[in-house]
Structure 1
Amino acid sequence: MRQDEQVKEHVENCSALLARRGLHLAFAESATAGALAAVFSQSRDSGDVLKGGVVCYDVCLKEDLLKVPRALIERYTPESMEVTQAMTYQLRDLIAADIHIGVTGLTKPGGSESPEKPVGTMFICLVHRDWELQETRVFKGDGEDIIVQTIVHTCRLLMDKVGG
């Protein structure tokens, strides 16, 4: 993965903070295809923070595994904040954790790409029992660059919210 050191530094710092706070993570990943769970699994504190994740790249997994209603997907598209939020909330039924994180978006042309939703648009939802944070960002670069930026940004969001 490009920008390995930047990703590693953010993930290590984020994992250490979460471990100090006694918080566990679970991921529902579409566009990042498991990259978040993979990098967190390599951190020094992985055993103390990572519960697991679900890769739901294809829309059928969003529907069948995470029970996201087809009507919601049809209305807002598989790459939308509404679907990302639904994925994140449904993940709570599959994996017990303190913080559930959902990510969808567009890392390459196609899908629900439009002038209003260009390639690089990423939807991130973080849910804790006491709070929820949703953010839409448009990152630049190729697919790998977009995923790296999404990982780094997700770590920043977590550290800001958790208090690091």
Structure 2
Amino acid sequence: MSVPELLARARDRGLTVATAESCTGGMVAAALTDVAGSSAVFERGFITYSNAAKLELLGVAPDTLAAHGAVSEPVAREMAEGALARSAADIAVSITGIAGPGGSEFKPEGRVCFGLARKGGGTRVETVEFGALGRAGVRRAATQHALGLLAAAVG
């Protein structure tokens, strides 16, 4: 589904969206707001690149960050739920990952964790291993995947 279609379906269903982005640095919000009329659907975006921003703006628990690290499904869950709680949106998507270059044996380049939270509908999380596509490639792939999660959520 294209971004204009995603926005039209969300608008038709009366749904609003928030984003909580780390490694994509606002690319999902930019893709949504590139479309005229997106203000009917896009409620707000949080760019929480640092751990401090995740804590302060989204309410990610310090213990969660300490136990799992920023690139983890538990943090992606808390990011999505925090964006939902701190906005008037119906759906929130979160993205946290290793865009590269580099990474580690345990958290390689291209690993991105996503969260999708819905008001009254629970939260789902997943990890995608995009591989070493290079920084720009990982960020583009993560943006497209997050848009796909939103498209599925709006039906």
On whether the aligned pair clears a TM of 0.5, the verdict is yes
2:53 is the counterpart of 1:61:
yes
Q: Are residues 1:50 and 2:42 paired?
A: yes
Q: Counterpart in 1 of 2:104?
A: 114
Q: Among 6, 12, 26, which residue is 1:14 paired with?
A: 6
Please give the alpha-carbon distance, in whole angstroms, between the structure 2 residues aligned to 1:153 and 1:92. Answer: 19
Task: Report the residue type matching 1:37 in the other structure.
Answer: A
Q: Residues 92, 162 of structure 1: CA spacing in aligned structure 2 closer, same or farther, 3 A cutoff?
A: closer
- Note the C-alpha offset of 1:103: 0.9
* 1:128-139 equivalence runs, <5 A: 128-129=118-119, 130-139=121-130
1:90 aligned partner: 82
- Secondary structure at the aligned position of 1:14 is classed as helix
Contact 2:77 2:124 in 1 (8 A): no
**3-state DSSP of counterpart to 1:23:** coil
Q: Whole-Å Cα distance in 1 between the matches of residues 36 and 8 of structure 2?
A: 8
Q: Cα–Cα, structure 1 residues 160 and 90, in superposed 2: closer, same or farther, change >3 Å?
A: closer
CA distance in 2, matches of 1:160, 1:91: 19
Q: CA contact under 8 A between 2:15 and 2:91: conserved in structure 1?
A: yes
Tell me how far 1:94 sits from its aligned partner. 1.8
Distance 2:83 2:115 in 1: 12
Unaligned runs of 5+ residues in structure 1 are: 1-8
Is structure 2 residue 62 aligned with structure 1 residue 79? no
Counting matched residue pairs gives: 153
* TM-score, normalising length: structure 2: 0.89
SS of the counterpart of 1:31?
A: coil
CA shift digits 1:116-152 (9 cap, x unpaired): 4211111111111224322211114111111111121
- Contact conserved, 2:6 with 2:154, CA < 8 A, in 1? no
Letter of the 2:129 counterpart: V
Residue 114 of structure 2 corresponds to which residue in structure 1? 124
Identity over aligned pairs, percent: 29
Q: What value does the CA root-mean-square deviation take over the aligned residues?
A: 1.7
TM-score, structure 1 normalization: 0.84
Q: Per-residue CA shift, 1:67-112, capped at 9, x if unaligned?
A: 21211101100111111111111222321101011110010145xx
Q: Distance in 2 between matches of 1:162 and 1:85?
A: 19
Given that 2:15 and 2:154 are in contact with CA atoms closer than 8 Å, whether structure 1 keeps it comes out as no
AA in 1 matched with 2:116? L
Counterpart Cα distance in 2 of 1:147 and 1:45: 25
